[in-house]
């Protein structure tokens, strides 16, 4: 197998995992014997979502017929494929593992794709810590000592893990009526320091100047529209109404549905935004052209792929002395809000219900005010 074939194979399994997590693909029993669990088999890795569902025995048998080696995905990928099919025990729920088993199929589908992956990882840690403990015997002292007892550097992350446990117990007490109390109820969760990093125009230009053309347009879109990286990556050309409405002065409108909040709104296409979209249209390959920002294969960038590209570019800028301290792609969303003279307009652009969130989290520049006299 060539290196290109290997990458195509890994990409196919990655796309299957994401499709199962999002519900676009549902795992079926083995098409030969009806056994479960089954594995996704590709006759052609160039068609990532065209799969046959086979048990491990018949999967191996099919690869023997084809003369190819079976690719076994990582444990994380298998967990992501299997979580939908985990069934809670029929007997009374007594352990923390039982509560987590019930939480997964009931509430995981309501979470965003990235949150699902993080939650799966957090749940595995919770299983290792207290999975076999009786649910009614897990105490706030046990949880708090673990959360606050480790290194200070990982305290915020441990708090996020405990938050998953807190949500599970909330349902176990108030909806499933399986335990009498929530041991996390009175815990004080660690809070991260409010981020104050402001990206000035020189720092933005320094990173943009050494970025690839695809990353450049993504940076421009982030600052002009104020949208998150995930929402920009999934932006399609058919989300743009080229005719517009009277409210937009009959200029084109980009229809946004934010992945984190589900909020829908439209962004009028200005001359600056139109210039960025024109550069997106000129990207190669010309087809397929479904996504506004697409990779060299004409497909949507994965969040992990774009994140790696961003981190490499920022590191290169730091190594060359172009910027003193690195900044995240999400800091560009804060720059969009900070550089907007009208904070109320900035709140609408970022999709906030009111300007309080915009002021407290995203407005990081020093605003100049006029004196009384």
More confident residue, 162 or 58: 162
For residue range 148-164, list pLDDT tens digits in order.
887 777 888 999 999 99
Give yes or no for residue 144 having a pLDDT over 60.
yes
- Are the CB atoms for 126 and 100 separated by under 8 Å? yes
CA distance 29 to 27: 7
pLDDT at 54: 87
For residue range 243-294, list pLDDT tens digits in order.
888 877 788 999 999 988 888 999 999 999 999 999 999 888 877 778 999 9
pLDDT at 87: 53
pLDDT averaged over every residue in the chain: 86
Q: Could you tell me the pLDDT band of residue 82, with boundaries at 50, 70 and 90? A: low
In sequence order, the 6+-apart residues with CB closer than 8 A to the CB of 48 are 11, 12, 15, 16, 42
pLDDT at 84: 46
For residue range 190-226, list pLDDT tens digits in order.
888 889 999 999 999 999 999 999 999 999 999 999 9
pLDDT at 227: 96
Delimit the domains of the chain by residue range: 3-82, 90-174, 201-362
Q: Which of 19, 80, 7 is nearest to 49 (CA)?
A: 19
Which fold would CATH assign to domain 201-362? Answer: hpI Integrase; Chain A (1.10.443)
**Following DSSP, what letter does each residue of 31-58 receive, concatenated?**
TTT--SS-EEEES-TTSTT-EEEE-HHH
CA distance 138 to 130: 8
Q: Could you tell me the pLDDT band of residue 1, with boundaries at 50, 70 and 90? A: low
Q: Which of 298, 305, 259, 306 is nearest to 280 (CA)?
A: 298
Q: Give Cα separations from 346 to 137, 271, 331, 334 (angstroms).
A: 48, 18, 14, 10
Question: Mean per-residue pLDDT for 76-93?
Answer: 52
The pTM score is 0.65
- Are the CB atoms for 98 and 85 separated by under 8 Å? no
CA distance 6 to 71: 10
- Is cis: bond before 211, omega within 30 of 0? no
* % of the chain at pLDDT higher than 70: 92
Q: Could you tell me the pLDDT band of residue 75, with boundaries at 50, 70 and 90? A: low
**Following DSSP, what letter does each residue of 302-351 receive, concatenated?**
PHHHHHHHHHHHHHHHHHTTS-SS---TTHHHHHHHHT-S-HHHHHHHHT
- List b or e across 29-61, with b for residues whose CB sees 16 or more CB atoms inside 10 angstroms: ebebeeeeebbbbbeebeebeebbbbbeebbee
The C-alpha angle 18, 88, 181, rounded to 5 degrees, equals: 105
- CATH 2.30.30 holds for 90-174: no
Give yes or no for residue 69 having a pLDDT over 60.
no
Long-range residue pairs from 309-312, CB within 8 A, at least 24 positions apart, any chain: 309/212, 309/214, 309/215, 310/215
pLDDT at 154: 84
Give yes or no for residue 147 having a pLDDT over 60.
yes
CA distance 210 to 212: 7
Question: Mean per-residue pLDDT for 315-338?
Answer: 96
Q: How far apart are the first and last CA of the chain?
A: 76
């Amino acid at each position: 197998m060539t290196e290109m074939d290997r990458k195509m194979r890994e990409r196919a399994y990655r796309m299957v995992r994401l499709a199962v997590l999002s519900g676009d693909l549902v795992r079926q029993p083995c098409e030969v014997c009806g056994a479960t669990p089954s594995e996704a088999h590709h006759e052609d890795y160039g068609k990532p979502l065209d799969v046959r569902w086979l048990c491990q025995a018949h999967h191996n048998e099919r690869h023997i017929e084809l003369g190819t080696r079976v690719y076994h995905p990582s444990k994380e990928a298998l967990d992501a494929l299997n979580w939908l099919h985990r069934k809670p025990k029929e007997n009374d729920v007594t352990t923390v593992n039982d509560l987590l088993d019930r939480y997964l199929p009931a509430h995981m589908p309501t979470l965003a794709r990235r949150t699902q992956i993080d939650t799966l990882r957090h749940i595995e840690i919770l299983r290792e810590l207290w999975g076999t403990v009786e649910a009614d015997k897990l105490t706030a002292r046990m949880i708090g000592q673990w959360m606050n007892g480790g290194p200070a550097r990982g305290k915020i992350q441990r708090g996020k893990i405990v938050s998953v446990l807190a949500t599970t117990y909330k349902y176990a007490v108030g909806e499933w009526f399986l335990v009498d109390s929530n041991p996390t109820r009175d815990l004080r969760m660690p809070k991260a320091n409010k981020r104050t990093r402001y990206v000035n125009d020189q720092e933005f230009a320094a990173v943009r100047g050494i970025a690839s053309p695809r990353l450049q347009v993504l940076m421009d879109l982030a600052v002009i529209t104020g949208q998150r990286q995930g929402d920009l990556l999934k932006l399609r050309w058919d989300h743009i109404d080229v005719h517009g409405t009277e409210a937009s002065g009959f200029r084109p409108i980009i229809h946004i549905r934010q992945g984190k909040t589900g909020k829908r709104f439209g962004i009028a296409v200005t001359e600056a935004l139109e210039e960025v979209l024109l550069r997106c249209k000129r990207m190669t390959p010309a087809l397929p052209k479904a996504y506004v920002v697409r990779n060299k294969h004409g497909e949507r960038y994965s969040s992990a792929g774009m994140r790696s590209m961003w981190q490499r570019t920022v590191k290169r800028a730091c190594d060359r002395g172009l910027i003193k301290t690195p900044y995240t792609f999400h800091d560009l969303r804060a720059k969009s809000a900070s550089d907007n003279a009208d904070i109320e307009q900035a709140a609408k652009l970022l999709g906030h219900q009111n300007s309080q969130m915009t002021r407290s989290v995203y407005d990081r520049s020093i605003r100049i005010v006029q004196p009384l006299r």
